Amino acid sequence: MASLIGKILKNRYKVIKSLGHGSKADVYLASDKLLEKEVAIKVIQTDNIQPKVMQRGLKRFHIEAQRMAALNHPNIVKVMDHGEHEGIPYLVIPNYASGTLKDWLGTGIPYEKALRLILPVADALAYAHSKGLVHRKVKPSNILLTEGDLPMLTDFGLVKMLGGEETLDLTGIGAWVGKPKYMAPEQADGRVIDAWTDIYALGVVLYEQLTAWKPFETETPVTVLVKHMHDPLPKPSEIISGIPESVEQLLYKTLAIQPGERY
């Protein structure tokens, strides 16, 4: 996808510089001439989407973007605007300069602080689920932080909006979307994806916050997913001390293999 630096979108947003590049979207810093403030522009990559799927997906994108813009929760990043530039869809969101939860990982976070960061995200997900939206890609890099370290959940439905799938063919044929280390078992084997899928992913994030490790670490994405589907959860308190039994039991419930056993 060609760079948008220097372009003006919607005769309103002047793209200043790149903020990041992901597998499904590029993020730019832009100046909003109407509001006279800096914003972030999330441009969805369309290079690998077939034309027929793209044609259907653009209509769906605008419908889903409107639903996302209607979300009103203190821990969900607000969609300020949306549109297309030369047939490429984009979202306009606030610019948060304090990084993401991913930047905090690498060493274990005390459980009090970990819960303080994760519980507002759980509340945000519950709110979104009540509105019929499933996130599908809960992970540390999708939890932004404000200057006061308030967690803000972002990236709702980018793949779903353009007709993408979230499944993995374990025979190696096909592709998947998202990070396998945060995927629930049902997300890997093609079962229904719903609110419980998000809860599982959030449990992985909490586990990683507390222990500095993801529950399952292997050399290949497929073997990671097989472990998520079949292996018991490695006991967190054996990795790092000081985790209360109640928090450990929360992880066991959140990361249950069967969706119906989670909370």
CATH number of the domain residue 124 falls in: 1.10.510.10
d(CA 206, CA 99): 18
Q: Is residue 3 in a domain?
A: no
**What pLDDT score does 53 carry?**
66
Picking from 69, 94, 119, the residue at the C-terminal end of a domain is 94
Catalytic residue of the set 112, 147, 219, 245: 147
User: What's the total number of domains in the chain?
Assistant: 2
| Encoded tokens for 175 | 């592709």
Q: Is residue 32 in a domain?
A: yes
Picking from 94, 129, 149, the residue at the C-terminal end of a domain is 94
Q: For 162-196, write each residue's pLDDT tens digit.
A: 554 443 333 333 344 457 889 899 887 778 788 99
Split at pLDDT 50, 70, 90, the class of 161 is low
- Say whether both 152 and 220 belong to one domain: yes
- Say whether both 70 and 170 belong to one domain: no
- Say whether both 87 and 113 belong to one domain: no
Q: What is the value of pTM for the model shown?
A: 0.83
In DSSP notation, 135-151 reads: -S---GGGEEE-TT--E
Q: Is 217 a catalytic residue?
A: no
- Say whether both 191 and 220 belong to one domain: yes
Q: How far is CA 211 from the centre of its chain?
A: 21
Q: Is residue 2 in a domain?
A: no
| Residue 212: closest CA among 117, 118, 108, 116 | 108
Picking from 94, 118, 138, the residue at the C-terminal end of a domain is 94
Q: Which domain holds residue 130?
A: 101-261
Q: Is residue 166 in a domain?
A: yes
| Encoded tokens for 255 | 């990361």
**pLDDT surpasses 60 at 132:** yes
